[in-house]
Amino acid sequence: MKKHQHRFVEEYEDLVAFGYSREVDEKSLMVYLQKFSDDRHLKTIVPRMSDEEIQQVFELLSELMRRYLSDNEYHEHFLKDDDHPSP
Q: Position 3: which residue type?
A: K
**What is the rounded CA–CA span in Å between residue 36 and residue 49?**
14
Stronger pLDDT, 1 or 57, i.e. the higher one: 57
Tell whether the model's pLDDT for residue 46 goes beyond 70: yes
Global pTM reads 0.82
Using pLDDT thresholds of 50, 70 and 90, give the confidence band for residue 85.
low
Q: What is the total residue count of the chain?
A: 87
**What is the rounded CA–CA span in Å between residue 71 and residue 12?**
29
User: Under a CB-based contact definition with an 8 Å cutoff, are residues 34 and 27 in contact?
Assistant: no
CB-count exposure of residue 22 (10 Å: 0-12, 13-18, 19+): exposed
Query: What are the structural domain ranges in the chain?
Result: 1-48, 50-87
What 3-state DSSP class applies to 32? helix
